[in-house]
Structure 1
Amino acid sequence: MRLAPRGEFAEKSYYLIAECYLEQKKAYSAVATLLKLQNAKLPEMDEQYFYYRLGYAYELSDKPIDAITAYRKGYEQDPYSQVAYQIEDRILELKSSKPSIDISFLYPYSPLQVTIVQEEQPDTLKTSVTTDSKSSSSSTAKQIEVKQDTPVKLKEKPKEGYWLQAGRFSVESNANRLVINIRLLNIPAAYYEDVSGGKKSWVVVCGSFPDRAKAEEAKELLATNNINSFITAY
């Protein structure tokens, strides 16, 4: 870092030092290191991950207000990313020990506006997705043909076909809400329950699609609506 304070590995070096301090139970030093990283104003820094680690360092420093402030800044960068899922877990953990902390920003909608669709109520969706063609030879729209009926909540993880994974949540209503938002884009979406390492989560997927090209088109449409996703084939 002394030789190249703004070099290619500067950001990773700050995180490595901060993590070492956390391992040594020196949370205040970790906070100081991360604040130095922030002041360095490195180009293309991953701000969401930065606020996630800063919030955790503040949390271990017993500064819950500073922690929740950092977590919120990180979460609001992209509420549907995998880092946001990790931030949400930390926020809920912090809330369990500090009940007075306000975490209403996680759930801006009234519970009455969110309907959990049970398995015995298989709301289905038959649709096609319209996207703008990127072909230079044509400006007309093309259709993504989706022939599969998709229940809102799947009984199990998909076993075949091309799918998009658009989020993983520790709160089921969040997964349900994202599914509703994606369906408003005329993209078939659903979620399923996953248990890993003794922890339960709900995974939002879109599909299935007949081939990778169709999945890519839907992925681009999601991206234009600020929903990140990645293609997975089962």
Structure 2
Amino acid sequence: MSVSLTFATTLRVLTQVRHDRRTIALVITVPSLLLALLRFIFVDRLDIFDQIGLMLLGIFPFTSMFLITSVAMLRERVSGTLERLLSTPLHKLDLLFGYALAFAALAAVQAGVACAVAYGLLGLRTQGAVVTVLLIAISTAILGCCTGLLTSAFARTEFQALQFMPAIVFPQILLCGLIWPRDQMSSVLRIASDVMPLRYAAEAMSEVGTFPLPTTRLWVDLVVLAAFAVATLFGGAATLRRQSN
């Protein structure tokens, strides 16, 4: 790997994203608008808004980065850009880490705006610090980016890439504890959720909502998220080919 090539890839991806103003607008504004909608739905039950809204601050970055990264990488595969890049001294991990850093930066902006709206305008209340929420959100965004890089290898069109969202994201949302507490699920569902990374993101957010300082469980959850991200990143590297079939 080369640090200079990795950051060059990051700069290239950010430059491409910067020219897509509609995507930037959607990525930054949609989570805040959804949180505002949720706030009005639970206008008389702010305790529910505090719980669900906090978890969504960790789920939104994963979902949006998964979609954007999978489509962006697929375009590079289909257009031949990926093959040309890999014919240069650029290493596979330079490319993947560059993508991860670029979309992590975009996710940091998204999470920052969403947290500012949630805490400043919507009155979200948590025991833990906003900085911890941002750390978890960026961690899930990097995981979403790595997962999108991996799944893009199994799609041939952008429509197919989008179809991975119901298969990969929705089950995690249903089983992470957002819809129903995990301790009240059947043992089979709890075991299934244990191999789904969003379950650890939701648990980490719950820790922030309950305790004023980061707990041991929160740090363990972040380590697990990092392990999932590294595993999917190396899995994505295995799918990259220097020549098209």
Structure with larger RCO (C-alpha < 8 A, sep 6+): 2
Bucket of the pairwise TM-score, normalised by the shorter protein: under 0.3
The structure that is strand-richer by fraction is: 1
TM value normalised by structure 1: 0.25
> Quick check: which one's helix share is greater?
2
